[in-house]
Every structure is written in C-alpha cells, then in structure tokens.
Amino acid sequence: MSKAEIEPKLAGIMSEIAEVEGIVAFDPKGDVISGQTIGGDDVQKIAKTASDLLPRLTLLGSSIQKGSPREVTIGLTKGYAIIVFGTKYSIMCFVGEDAKTQLGLLSRQIKEIAN
C-alpha cells in the first residue's frame, strides 16, 4: 500500500475514533510513511521508538516459543499504545486513558491497514 493510500485511512481512524491522539505508519527502519498527532508530537521519534521495540519483542516471542510479534498493546500511566507490525510497514496508535473501551476496535482497524 502506498503513502497516498495509507494517509486517508489513518486520517479516517483519527476522525472516526475521537479518543485517538496520534497514529503513525512507519517502515522497518523506523522512517515515517505517514503520521499525525493532535498534540504536535514528533512523529519521527515515535516511529523510531516503536520500531526499536521489534527486535526485543521478536526475542521474547522466540524465548517463549510463540513466534514473531504481530501486535502489542501497552498500558501506560496516561493512556495506551497499540502497535501492529506488518512486513512492509507497521502502524502505531496512541490514545488517552479514557479510551480503554475503544482498544479492540482500534486494533482491528489498524490490522486492516497494516496487513
């Protein structure tokens, strides 16, 4: 999927789910393909940090004999982050703590784009 195809899909998620504070698509090296946040956060820093998790998660999956990571949801003190790992690109989304009930829906929507 090209950047031109990804951008409107990410924007659609942000407009459909009001609790989404940011969403970023990035390649395996951590370079931003497309991304936006409501707070003006550094999307390149977000993408690089999210992509840096993949080797550790791969090691974890291997050590417990469960395979490669496909998705991770992280509960944080002020919200949640969801990362869906794809072969060509991955998508990371973050929401505030009031969005816990939206995590399942958000995860499904991100998976549809990333796979």
Query: Which pTM was predicted?
Result: 0.91
Q: Grade residue 96 by pLDDT with cuts at 50, 70 and 90.
A: very high
Question: What does the pLDDT look like over 19-58, one tens digit per residue?
Answer: 999 999 999 999 999 999 998 889 999 999 999 999 999 9
For residue 62, pLDDT beyond 90? yes
Residue given tokens 């090209």 in the structure block? 2
Give the fold, CATH level 3, of 3-114. Answer: Beta-Lactamase (3.30.450)
Tens-place pLDDT, residues 15-29: 999 899 999 999 999
Question: In sequence order, what are the beta bridge partners of 79?
Answer: 76, 96
